[in-house]
């Protein structure tokens, strides 16, 4: 009986896996919504090897709750949500990360800029610029009216507008010019009328919302909310100021109480 010798050949295959280096994330650079509107933005990933993990962050707002989905959704947006949002992605196989960002822009109906009073003042025989200053995105169109009639540039009035400000110049103030003017600001979201009162110069607004800043053991600076100047340059005087040091151990802790803060026309006493 003879035996046969069998030779078995085993082929070994060597598989080399190469991971790509160009993991990318892509987000539309801008998302424009109207105030109280809804929308979303998609974070698209290319060249991922494994499953992708998503994380949305908000630039300069570390307190913002992160979102861990591919699509970032907005509902009933408010103006304080405008800003830059970042989509961060991670490939769970390679560990590689990348990111892309987009800016949320919110368009809204024009509203009055509260840094400016809805008042203007000048003496007869002078020229005056009556300002209509709004907050608006996009930039609005302006219209001026009085007694139900549109005001256009003429010998009596000159209308100029730039950005979010419109100026009505009264070239030679007469008694008949005193009263209320309406400034209307319109953009595609909507429009509003603002009533601006024009009168001879008068008593300025009283200071309000005053508070101390830069408080040290040597003093402090008082700041008050901006008000109407009455149509004339103003100066300020503080009376009845009481300074109290709160504890000998911390001389920098000072409480300043302002009993009375007065504005005076032209001079202070």
Are the beta carbons of 116 and 193 closer than 8 angstroms? Answer: no
Using DSSP's 3-state secondary structure scheme, residue 60 falls into coil
Same domain, 183 and 225: no
The per-residue pLDDT string of the chain (269 residues; one tens digit each, 9 = 90 and over) reads: 554 544 555 444 445 555 556 899 999 999 999 999 999 999 999 999 999 999 999 999 999 999 999 999 999 999 999 999 999 999 999 999 999 999 999 999 999 999 999 999 999 999 999 999 999 999 999 999 999 999 999 999 999 999 999 999 999 999 999 999 999 999 999 999 999 999 999 888 777 788 788 888 777 777 777 777 777 777 666 655 554 444 444 433 333 343 344 443 343 33
Examine residue 121 and state whether it is found in any structural domain, yes or no: yes
Are the beta carbons of 201 and 128 closer than 8 angstroms? Answer: no
Residue 49's beta-bridge partner residues?
A: none
Are the beta carbons of 150 and 157 closer than 8 angstroms? Answer: no
- CATH number of the domain encompassing residue 63: 2.60.40.10
Examine residue 1 and state whether it is found in any structural domain, yes or no: no
Total domains present in the chain: 3
Same domain, 102 and 119: no
Residue 218 tokens, joined = 């040597």
Examine residue 19 and state whether it is found in any structural domain, yes or no: no
Instruction: Encode pLDDT of 80-122 as tens digits.
Output: 999 999 999 999 999 999 999 999 999 999 999 999 999 999 9
pTM for this prediction? 0.74
Are the beta carbons of 31 and 102 closer than 8 angstroms? Answer: yes
- Phi/psi of residue 236, each to 5°? -125, 150
Report pLDDT for 245: 45
What domain range is 134 assigned to? 113-199
Q: What's the Cα-to-Cα distance from 27 to each of 22, 74, 86, 98, rounded to whole Å?
A: 16, 15, 9, 12
What does the DSSP 8-state code read for residue 125?
T
Residue identified by tokens 């209308």 is 159
Out of 145, 176, 199, a domain closes at 199
Are the beta carbons of 132 and 139 closer than 8 angstroms? Answer: no
Report pLDDT for 267: 37
Q: How far apart are CA 228 and CA 42, in angstroms?
A: 47
């Amino acid at each position: 009986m003879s035996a046969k010798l069998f030779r078995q050949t085993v082929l070994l295959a060597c598989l080399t896996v190469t991971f790509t280096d160009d993991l990318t994330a892509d987000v539309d650079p801008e998302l424009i919504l109207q105030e109280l509107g809804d929308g979303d933005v998609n974070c698209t990933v290319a060249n991922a090897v494994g499953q992708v993990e998503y994380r949305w962050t908000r630039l300069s707002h570390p307190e913002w709750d992160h979102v861990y989905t591919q699509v970032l959704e907005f509902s009933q947006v408010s103006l304080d949500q405008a800003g830059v949002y970042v989509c961060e992605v991670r490939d769970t196989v390679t560990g590689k990360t990348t990111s892309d960002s987009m800016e949320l822009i919110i368009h809204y109906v024009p509203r009055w800029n509260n840094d400016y009073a809805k008042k203007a003042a000048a003496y007869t025989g002078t020229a005056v610029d009556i300002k209509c200053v709004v907050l608006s995105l996009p930039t609005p169109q302006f219209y001026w009216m009085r007694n139900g009639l549109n005001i256009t540039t003429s010998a009596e009035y000159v209308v100029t507008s730039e950005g979010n400000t419109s100026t009505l110049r009264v070239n030679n103030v007469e008694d008949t010019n005193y009263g209320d003017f309406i400034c209307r600001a319109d953009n595609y979201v909507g429009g509003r009328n603002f009533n601006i009162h024009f009168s001879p110069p008068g008593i300025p607004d009283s200071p309000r919302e005053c508070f101390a800043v830069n408080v040290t053991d040597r003093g402090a600076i008082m700041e008050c909310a901006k008000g109407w100047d009455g149509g004339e340059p103003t100066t300020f005087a503080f009376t009845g100021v009481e300074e109290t040091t709160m504890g000998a151990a911390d001389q920098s802790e000072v409480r300043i109480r302002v009993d009375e803060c007065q504005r005076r026309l032209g001079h202070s006493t």
